[in-house]
Every structure is written in C-alpha cells, then in structure tokens.
Amino acid sequence: MRFPAEPYRIKVVEPIRYSSKEERAKLLERAGLNIFAVPADSIYIDLLTDSGTSAMSDSQWAGLMVGDESYAGSRNFFKLEQTVREITGYRHVIPTHQGRMAENLLFSAMVRPGQVVPNNSHFDTTRANVEAQGAEALDLVIPEGLDPAAEHPFKGNLDTARLEEVLQARGKSDVPLVMITVTNNSGGGQPVSIANARAVRAICDRHGVPLFFDACRFAENAYFIKEREPGHANRSVREIARELFDVAVGCTMSAKKDGLVNIGGFLAFQADALEEAVTNLLLRVEGFPTYGGLAGRDLEAMARGLEEVLDEDYLSFRINQVRMLGTMLDQAGVPIVKPVGGHAVYIDAKRFLAHIPQSQFPGQALVVALYRTYGIRAVEVGSLMFGHKDPKTGEEVFPKLDLVRLAVPRRVYTSEQMRYVARSVIEIHKERETLRGLRIVHEAPVLRHFTARLAEVTPAPVRT
Ligand code: P61
C-alpha cells in the first residue's frame, strides 16, 4: 500500500532527546508507573494527545506578529469571526480559550437539572460539563461503534432509532439539545456521515430540539465523507464541511485539534436568542467577547489554522499518516480498532496482552513497556481510566474495552518516526508474554488515571 509523503518542508526544528533505558526506568519508578508523571523532555515520541500539540505553519507564526491586543474590537477577532462564518455558516462566533469552555457556555445557557443530552459519544469534558448542570449525558453511538473489529465506514454514526425513542419518551422539555461529535473521539476517532447527521436533524426537527456539533475534528470528518460517502468524491472538503455544518444550528470547537493551534476554541451558533445568555457568562468567567480568554495573536493563528486545515493535500497526508501507522501494526498481527480513525490508532490491549486480566490493567502495562523500552508515550483508555468500584458491592467494574491510544499530533512527526513507533509496538508484541500486569498502589477518588501510582505484580507470568 502506498501513502502520500509530507506536503510541507521543515523550516524550524525542535531537538528531541533519546533518553537511555536506565534513565527511563528510573523516571518510571519515580512516577509510580504513571506516564502522566514522567517529564516530557525524557520522551522521544509523544503520542499522548493530538490536542494542542500541532506544529504551526510559517503563516501562523507570522500571524502572531500582527496580533492586535486591544481589549475590545481587536482586528484579529473580526478576521476569526469572518473565517468561522465562512466555514460554518453560523452567525454568532464566541472565542474561548479551549473547547471545554465553549461546552460550559453552551450547556450553562441551555441545559437544566434533570434533563438529558444525547450525543453519539460524549468526550469526557463534554460529559463533565453536561453533568455539571445536573443533567444526564447519554451516549447513543451505533452498535458497530462499540465493536473494535466491526468494519463500518461511519462507525461514529448516532443510532437514530434510539434517539427517536429517547425523544418520544422524554420530549422537548427534557431534551434541550442533541449533539454529534465529529469525529467520534471516544469511539476511536471514527467519522459520522452526512446522511446520518441529516437523519438526526430530521428527528430533532420533528421534536423541536436543536442539533449542535462538537466540531473539534470537523475537517478530518469531512475528508472521510469525501473518501467514503457516495456522491461526495468530487466535491471539495470545504464544501462538504459547510454542508455538514448546515445540518446543525451551532457547534462547540476545540481549535487545539483541527484549528491547528496550541490553544484556542470557540462556540458558534445561529440563534440570536442564545447570544445574550452566553455573552453574560463569558464576561464573568472568560473575558470580553472579542478575545474570549485569548490574546489577539492567538485569534489570528486560529483563523489561519482553520483555513489551512481544509487544504486537501494536508488532509490526505494527515489521514494517511495515521492510517499508515495502523496498517503497519495490523499487517504485523497487532490487534487494533478498525478501520483506523482520523487522529489516532487504538490498540486493543485486551487481545494484545491476553494473559493479563483487566484487573491488572493490560493497557497501562503496554503503555509502560512502550515508554520503558522505546521512549514512546501513549495513553491508556481502559480499566485504569474508566474502571471503578461499584458503590453498592465494592467490586471493581471494568469497561468493555481496554485500549491504548497512539494519538498523532498534526504536522509534527515524520513518517520515519511513525515507522519507528510501528516497529517498537511490533517488537513488544513479539515479546508480549514477558509483560507483567500492574496493581494500583495509590489512587485518587476521581479521574484516578492522572495521578494513580502503580507497581508490577509479581511473579511474572510463566512463558509457554
Ligand atoms: C484529547 F484526556 N480532547 O483527545 P479542550 N471534545 C472532544 C475532544 O476530543 C476534546 C474536547 C472536546 C483531548 C484533550 C483531552 O481528560 C482529557 O480544548 C471530542 O481540551 O478543552 C479534547 O477540548 C475538549 C484529553 C482533554 C484528556 C481532557 O486528547
């Protein structure tokens, strides 16, 4: 299989260090086998997240120099507003410092205690912001979206039959809005089709409920539509993205993903009636509406990034670089979530380390091995992140999937570096029986994966 080469050349380099195995072993021990507590400059390839880790272009860096830092009415805001209006068609554009603040503003204005917000899959900050309003965050992704091996072109689609049931049962008064996350991060970066978004919109219209997007990875989603949805192959990604945005009435956006910036986001919507409530809260918690918690220069970089992300040479390389990593692993027999998503490859750790039970955190065991042996940072999305004790029985409850995410930052690593990652994972796969399970030594009551301390269980499993 052939994959496109990088559609850019390197003008500035940031040295990265290949730390020694001995140093990494010491750092891991000090960190309690928790990769979040390891200093980033001891990491060779960092695949913890694709969020805020993009490389900016020369045009974006130049844009920083034309930042207008006026408290009110910065020219960079007007440029951003115009750019977002052109791409999305939404009238009101409220800048925020990142995605979760856009979520906070939207849900504070629209969601009340006891209500329910359906989504294909809520991202963790989205869920937290819905729940902070005393409402229920309901995931309604299609069944294929929960099966790592199911090959479906749009595994991020929302289950319309279940949405209809929820809306019939709860009605407009209990469902303030419906959301679709494009691409579906919690489900493996899987895309949503325009046909599915339209079907969701038709149901929303029948019940008088507005539809919003969580649009963090809208350009990657639009590229998948061009590739996979019948009738879109000869249209530009910009046209497809606009058609997608037209299906909803607004969106939240973390520009740390498809805005190609290190910090930034926005909330955009059509309804004039929403503006006042959102602006009042913004003024209290984030800043004046023409800067929204950012510097003028950040707004300029974001406006330029939103244009650059729609470049099809960039998108073709981007999607295919991630796909190449996934294909190399798949061809070597490493179990991954298929098809490969837009921003990350997800390894199925339960199958990779079949000898380690979920109670011994197979995903985290793989994360530890990848860093210890090869200096690569991945992140566990499994029993360490989502496992918890049942409050009634005190028994550990494990999530269905134990995954390890290799999230690929945009425009940062070369394909040779991706080959290094693939070779490293494949080497560990060959030696997988030597890996040991882990046990928790210390955990916090909430979001334990960020601060937990772990140790290896002894003795090591016997090799057969
Ligand atoms: C990520 F472990 N994603 O994937 P903000 N919606 C969606 C996201 O993917 C997302 C946000 C909203 C991250 C960063 C991250 O506990 C974590 O700009 C679909 O980060 O506020 C972020 O956007 C929120 C990773 C965030 C985490 C929180 O890596």
How confident is the model over 90-141, as pLDDT tens digits?
999 999 999 999 999 999 999 999 999 999 999 989 999 999 999 999 999 9
Is 34 in the same domain as 65?
A: no
**pLDDT confidence of residue 362:** 97
What is the per-residue DSSP string for 266-318? EEEES-HHHHHHHHHHHHHHT--TTTTTS-HHHHHHHHHHHHHTT-HHHHHHH
Residue 444: pLDDT band (50, 70, 90) is confident
Residue with tokens 């606009």: 242
Domain boundary among 256, 281, 308: 308
Question: What is the pLDDT at residue 461?
Answer: 54
Distance CA 292, CA 237 (A): 28
3-state secondary structure of 116: strand
| C-beta atoms surrounding 139 within 10 Å | 19
Same domain, 283 and 381: no
If you take atom 8 of ligand 1, which residue's CA is the nearest one? 123
Is pLDDT at 184 greater than 60 in this prediction? yes
Asked if pLDDT for residue 156 goes beyond 80, the answer is yes
Rounded to whole angstroms, how far apart are CA atoms 462 and 124? 38
Pick from 241, 243, 159: nearest CA to 200: 159
pLDDT at 168 over 90: yes
Per-residue pLDDT at 437: 97
**Token digits for 38?**
């390891």
Q: Which helix (H) or strand (E) holds 78?
A: helix 75-88
For residue 463, pLDDT over 60 is answered with no
Q: How many residues does the chain have?
A: 464
- For 390, other C-beta atoms within 10 Å of its C-beta total 9
pLDDT of residue 462: 54
Residue nearest to atom 7 of ligand 1 (CA): 123
pLDDT tops 60 at residue 388 = yes
The mean per-residue pLDDT over the stretch 353-378 comes to 97
Mutate to test the pocket of ligand 1, among 51, 117, 130, 380 (most ligand atoms within 8 A of CB): 51
The per-residue pLDDT of the chain, averaged, comes to 96
Q: How far is the CA of 265 from the centre of ligand 1 (A)?
A: 11
Angle subtended at Cα 50 by Cα 258 and Cα 296, rounded to the nearest 5 degrees? 50
Domain count, the chain: 2
* Number of Cβ within a 10 Å radius of residue 132: 13
- 130 by Cβ neighbours in 10 Å (0-12 / 13-18 / 19+) ranks as buried
Contact 179 CB / ligand 1 (< 6 Å)? no
- Structure tokens that stand for 15 in this block: 């040295």
CATH number of residue 422's parent domain: 3.90.1150.10
> Do 226 and 336 belong to one domain?
no
Residue 416, C-beta contacts closer than 8 angstroms, at least 6 positions apart = none
- Check residue 446 and give its pLDDT: 76
Decide if pLDDT at 216 tops 70. yes
Residues 33 and 86 in one domain: no
| Nearest atom of ligand 1 to the alpha carbon of 185 | 19
Residues 423 and 354 in one domain: yes
Q: What is the pLDDT of residues 264-297, one digit of tens each?
A: 999 999 999 999 999 999 999 999 999 999 999 9
pLDDT at 320: 97
Same domain, 272 and 190: yes
**Cα→Cα distances 99→105, 154, 163, Å:** 10, 24, 25
Q: Are residues 177 and 72 in the same domain?
A: yes
Bridging pattern class, strands 136-139 and 116-119: parallel
CB distance 133 to 111 below 8 Å: yes
Q: How far does residue 254's CA lie from ligand 1's centre (Å)?
A: 8
Name 268's bridge partners.
93, 251
Per DSSP, 158 falls in state B
Q: Is position 8 within any domain?
A: no
Q: Residues 39, 48: contact at Cβ < 8 Å? A: no
What is the Cα–Cα distance from 162 to 143, expressed in whole angstroms? 11
The continuous run of DSSP H or E covering 426 comes out as helix 415-430
The whole-angstrom separation of Cα 401 and Cα 337 is 10
Q: Is 181 in the pocket of ligand 1 (CB under 6 A)?
A: yes
Of 193, 197, 191, the C-alpha closest to 211 is 197
Q: Domain check: are 117 and 45 in the same one?
A: no
Per the model's pLDDT, the better-predicted residue between 386 and 158 turns out to be 158
pLDDT for the residue numbered 387:
86
Instruction: Indicate whether 297 and 334 sit together in one domain.
Output: no
pLDDT tens for 402-433 read 999 999 999 999 999 999 999 999 999 999 99
Question: Distance, CA 115 to ligand 1 centroid (Å)?
Answer: 23
Q: Which atom of ligand 1 is nearest to the CA of 184?
A: 19
Task: Say how far apart CA 162 and CA 159 lie, in whole Å.
Answer: 6
In a domain, 199, yes or no: yes
Q: Are 380 and 367 in contact (CB under 8 A)?
A: yes
Q: Calculate mean pLDDT across residues 296-305.
A: 98
Within-domain flag for 1: no
State the pLDDT confidence band at 460, using cuts at 50, 70 and 90: low
pTM of the model: 0.95
**Could you give the CA distance from residue 271 to residue 251 in angstroms, rounded to a whole number?**
12
- CB burial readout 368-380, b (16+ within 10 A) else e: bbbbbebbbbbbb
- Average the pLDDT over 204-228 and give the result: 98
CATH classification at residue 248: 3.40.640.10
Q: Within this chain, do residues 179 and 303 fall inside the same structural domain, yes or no?
A: yes
Residue 132's SS3 state is coil
Residue nearest to atom 27 of ligand 1 (CA): 124
Residue 145 lies in a domain: yes
Verify whether ligand 1 is closer than 6 Å to residue 185 (CB atom).
yes
Of the candidates 250, 218, 207, the one whose C-alpha atom is nearest the C-alpha of residue 105 is 250
Given a cut of 70, whether residue 260 has pLDDT beyond it is: yes
Q: What is the pLDDT of residue 335?
A: 97
Same domain, 288 and 407: no
330 and 303 part of one domain: no
In ligand 1, the atom with minimum distance to the C-alpha of 344 is 4
Of the two residues 156 and 394, the one the predictor is more confident about is 156
Does residue 289 lie within any of the structural domains? yes
Kindly state the average pLDDT of the residues 200-206: 98
Q: Is residue 39 in a domain?
A: yes
With vertex at residue 86, the alpha carbon angle to CA 83 and CA 90, rounded to the nearest 5 degrees, is 100
Summarize the confidence of residues 26-46 as an average pLDDT.
97
List the end-to-end C-alpha distance of the chain, in Å, as a whole number.
Answer: 35
How far is residue 198's CA from residue 248's CA, in Å, rounded to a whole number?
Answer: 9
Would you say the C-alpha torsion 144, 106, 55, 34 has a positive or negative sign? negative
> Domain for residue 463, yes or no?
no
pLDDT at 215 over 80: yes
Tens of pLDDT along 242-255?
A: 999 999 999 999 99
Does any domain span residue 4?
no
d(CA 433, CA 370): 14
Lowest model confidence (mean pLDDT) among 167-171, 276-280, 316-320, 386-390: 386-390
- 454 DSSP 8-state letter: E
pLDDT single digits (tens) 49-67:
999 999 999 999 999 999 9
pLDDT given at position 396: 86
The rounded percent of the chain whose pLDDT value lies above 70 is 98
- Range(s) of the domain holding residue 372: 21-50+313-456
